[in-house]
Structure 1
Amino acid sequence: MTLRFGRRQFLMGSSALLAAGAFGLGPARAQSAGLRLFWWGGQARADRTLGVADLYSETTGAPPLQGEFLAWDDYWTRLATQVAGGNAPDIYQMDYRFIVEYATRNAIVPLDEFVESGVLNLDDFDEDQIEGGRVNGQLYGLSLGANSVATLVNTAAFEEAGIEPPDLSWTYADIERYGEAFKEANIRGGMRAFADGSRVEPMLDNWIRQRGKALYTADGQLGPDVDDMVDWFTMWNDFRQAGYIISAEDDALDTGAPEVSAVALQKSALMPTNSNQLIIHQSINPDNLTITSYPRLAPGVGGGHYRKPSQFWSMASSSAHKEEAAAFLSYFVNDIEAGRILGVERGIPCSAGVREAITPELSEQDQIALNFVANLGDLLGPLPPSPPNAAGEIDVSLLRVIAQEVAFGARSPEDAGRYFVEEAQAILARAAS
C-alpha cells in the first residue's frame, strides 16, 4: 500500500493513514520516480510529514513522494528487512543510538557532498545539531529537531489525586510519595503514579549520568558496572512491588505506539518520553498534559539531561535519486511553510530562520516543549558521544528483555544486573571484532 495525499486530505487528516500506521504497510513502490520516505511515529507525525511532502511536490513540480510509517517497535524490524533486501526507502528516519551501526555498515551515505555543492543548505543550522549527526567526521544524519528526555504528566489525574504534579526539582524519592498518594486516592480504576522506566534506555542513561558515568564511554565501552545495574533493577522492582508503578502486565501493553502508552491507557499519571512527543500525546488524550524533567537522584543533583537530535533523516546508500533526496531534505528543514506544518512535533527546529518564523505561531503544547528544552538549567549536561554500533541491539534485545523478566519475576534484580553487564560487554566485543 502506498500513501500519497493532497493538501485537503492533509488538513482534514485521514483514516486510511491511521489504519496504515496501526497495521503496517508493505514496501512502498515509487511512482514516476518519486522519492520514498519511511519514519516511525503516529498519526499526527504522518499528517505533518505527508503535508510537507505534498507541498514540496506542488511547489517544485517534483513527482509525488511516497510515505510509510510504523510504531517504534515495528519500525526497526521492517527497516532492517528492507535494507537487507535492497529495497530501502530513499530517505528514512534514523535514531541517535542506531546511526553508527547504519553508517559503518554502509546502509546510509554521508551528506557532506550535498552540503558542499549547496543542494543541502545548512547555513543557519545549529552547529551542535550538525555535529550530532556525524559519524567518524562525516554527516550521516540530518537532525529534524532538538529535544530532551522528559516526563509526561497528566495534570488532571494529579488534581483528582489531590497532589501537586512534579516540577524540575523532583527526585526519585518523590515516586514513592506520588505512588502512595495515587494508591490512597484510587482514581480511574487504580491508576498508578508512574510507568515502568526499568526498560527505558534513555531513563537509564539519564540516571547513570547523574551518577557521574556514561552509558557508553567515548571508546564505545559500557559505562555502568554490575553494582549500578543491580541498583537500577532493584529500585524499579521495589517501586513495582509497592504499587507505585504499573504492573508487568500493563507495561506489556505498551508496544511503542502513543495510542497504547501507559498514559493513553490511563494506567499511570507519569511516564518517560521526549519533549517533542508532548504534541502527539496531547492529540490522543482528552486530559490536559504537560512535561517536566526526569527525576533527580537527590535534591540539587543535575546534569543527566542533554539537548540532542530528536531523530534524523538519513539517505539510503541504495537510493537511485540521491540528488533529489538531498534537495527534499534541504526543503524539509529550511522552508518556512514546511516549518509551519511541522511545528515542533519532531523537536525544536534547527534552522534559526525557521525557528524565528514559527515560534510566535506555536500552540500552547508547542510552546511548553520549546520552553522546556530552553530552560533545563542545572539539569543540562554535555551531549555524549554517539553510541557504539551495538547500542541498538543492547537496548532492544537485552535491556528490554531483562527488565521484563525482572518485572514478571523470572529474574532477580541481582541476577539481572550481572547478566546485563556480561551480555552487553559481549555484544560490544563482538561488534568491535
Structure 2
Amino acid sequence: MRTNGTGTQGSVDRRGLLKLVGGSTAALGLTAAGCGGGSGSDGGTVTIRYAWWGSDDRAKRINQTIELFEKKHPKIKVKTDFQPYLDFWKKFNTQASGGNPPDVFQNAVGFLRKYDAKNVLLDLGGQVEAGNLRMDGFRAGLDTFGEVDGRLLGVPVGSNSMALVIDEKVFGKAGITPRPGWTWEEFHAALAKIRDTQGRAGDSGMYGVMYLYDLHLRQHGKAFFTPKGLGFTEADLTDWWTKALQGVRAGTYSDPKKVSQVKPKAALSAGLSACEFTWDNFTIRYTSEGKSEYGLAPVPTTDGKRTGQYLGSLMLSASKRTKHPEEVARFIDFMVHDPEVATIMGYDRGVPATTAQYEAFKPTDPVNKKIAAYEQQLVDSGVLEQITPHPAGADIAEAAFLRIAEEMALGKSSVAEAVRQFFSESKTALGS
C-alpha cells in the first residue's frame, strides 16, 4: 500500500459548514442500540454499530442504504447512531475514551491522526489483503486519501474540492466571467467592479476560511499544516488577516456584523455578497436558501497556473476494538462500491469516490451537474495535488481559526491579538 498524506473535509463552511467536507449541523437523533466495543452475534448473525453525522435527509438516505446492505448480506445487521456534527464528535470522543467506539463510523481527515494516536482506528490494510475490502476503482487518487504512514485508516465515500460559488446574475450584470488561471489581482478587481456597479460586496469575507487559506499558502510553497504542526508563520497570517480587514473597510468584502446577523443563512444566498469560497458540493445549499442562480468558478491563482487544490473527502473508518473486522470491511466495501448505493446517496457526501458509483449516478438537476462538471474540469486540467497531512489536534486548530477570525472581524480583537491567540491555542492543541 502506498504511503500518502491525508487531508479533509471538511469544516462546516465559513460560518460552521466548512468544519467538515459535505457535513451538516441539522439536529436529528437516531438513538443507537447495543453496546460494547463490537456487537455480539445471535444465531450466526453478526451485528455491527455504525455512527455518522449529517442532515436528516442524509439520515434517510443512509438508512435506505443500510436496508439494501442487510438485504444483500442477511447475516450482518447494522445498528445506527446519528447525531448533529458537534454532538457526534463529543459522543464519539467519550466512547473512544471509554473503549466503546462504534464498529464503523463516518470520519474526516482532521481526525485521522488524532484518533490514530489514541489507538482507536483499525488498519484496514489487512482486510484489503484478505479480499474483504477493495481499494481499486477509486477516482483521481482517492484510494490513498485515508492513509497515514502507509496504514489504511479511512476509505473515501465521496469527493469535493474548494471552489468559488458565485451569484451568476450579479457576475453577469457586472460583465465578469471568471476563467481558469485568473489571478488574485484579477479577482480583487472583479470584487471592486461588483461593488461599484451592483451595489453589494463582492465576497462575503475570506478571513475565516481555513481551507482557502491553505490553498493560498500552497500556491506559495507552504501549507496550513505539516505532519507535526503549522506550516506558516505569524507574519504570514498577519498579512492574510490584515488584507481581509482592508477588504471589509473598502466594501469589497461583506460587513461581518451583517454576515453574523443572517446566520445560519449564508451571506451569498442572503444577498450580502456576490460570491464566497466553500466546498463545491455545498452549492446546492445556496439554491435552496437564495433567490438567484448560483454557479462554480475557478479558485484564483498567484502565478496563473497553480491553484493548490486537492480532492477532499468524507470517509468510513473502523474501530480497532471491533470484534467483527471482516463484516465491517464488507460493509465499507459495499458502501463505496455498490452502484445502488450511489443512486440512493447522490452527491450528499460529495461526488462518489469510486468509478462504479460515479457512473451509476448521473445527476439530472442543474446544480449537481455543475458540481460534476467542476470536479471533472479539475481532473482534466491536471491542477489537483496531494493534500498535506493533518497532524493530531488539527480539528482543534481548525475550530480556533474559524472562531478567532470571526471575533477579529467583529472588532473584538486586533489582528495582532488574533494572530497571537491563534498561534498560542494551536501550539497547545498540536503539541508544538
More helix by share: 1
Which amino acid is the alignment partner of residue 72 of structure 2? T
Output the amino acid matched with 1:233: W
Secondary structure (helix, strand or coil) at the match of 1:56 reads helix
- Asked if 2 retains the 8 angstrom alpha-carbon contact of 1:280 and 1:345, the reply is no
Superposed, 1:219-368 pairs within 5 Å as: 219-252=227-260, 260-297=265-302, 300-308=304-312, 310-359=313-362, 363-368=365-370
Distance 2:79 2:220 in 1: 46
Distance 1:254 1:175, change over 3 A: farther
Per-residue deviation, 1:392: 1.4
Counterparts of 1:24-423 in structure 2, within 5 Å, are 24-25=28-29, 27-30=31-34, 34-61=47-74, 62-63=76-77, 65-71=79-85, 73-126=86-139, 128-159=141-172, 162-164=174-176, 166-174=178-186, 176-184=188-196, 192-217=201-226, 219-252=227-260, 260-297=265-302, 300-308=304-312, 310-359=313-362, 363-376=365-378, 380-397=383-400, 399-423=401-425
How many Å apart are 1:271 and its aligned residue?
1.9
1:323-347 Cα offsets, whole Å, 9 max, x none, are 3322221111111111222233323
For 2:272 and 2:34, the matched residues in 1 are separated by 41
Report if the CA contact (8 A) 1:276-1:347 is conserved.
yes
Q: Secondary structure at the match of 2:371?
A: helix
Q: Report the TM-score, using the length of structure 1 for normalisation.
A: 0.80
Residue aligned with 1:110, SS:
coil
- State the percentage of identical aligned residues: 25
Tell me the SS of whatever aligns to 1:296: coil
1:231–1:350: structure 2 CA closer, same or farther, 3 Å change rule?
Answer: same
Matched residues in 1 for 2:392 and 2:175: separation?
43
Give aligned pairs, total: 398
The answer to whether the Cα contact below 8 Å between 1:53 and 1:65 also exists between their aligned partners in 2 is no
| Deviating more after overlay: 125-134 vs 109-118 | 125-134
Residues 174 and 46 of structure 1: CA distance in aligned 2, closer, same or farther (over 3 Å):
farther
* 1:130 and 1:139 in contact (8 A); partners too: no
Contact 1:42 1:280 in 2 (8 A): no
TM-score norm. by structure 2 comes to: 0.80
Q: Retained in 2: the 8 A contact 1:149–1:293?
A: no
CA 1:251–1:382 in structure 2 vs 1: closer, same or farther (change >3 Å)?
same
Residue aligned with 1:272, SS: strand
Instruction: Could you tell me which runs of 5 or more consecutive residues in structure 2 were left unpaired when the two chains were aligned.
Output: 1-23, 36-41
37-46 or 268-277, larger mean C-alpha shift: 37-46
Amino acid at match of 1:407: A
Please say if residues 49 and 342 of structure 1, whose CA atoms lie closer than 8 Å, have aligned partners that are also in contact.
yes
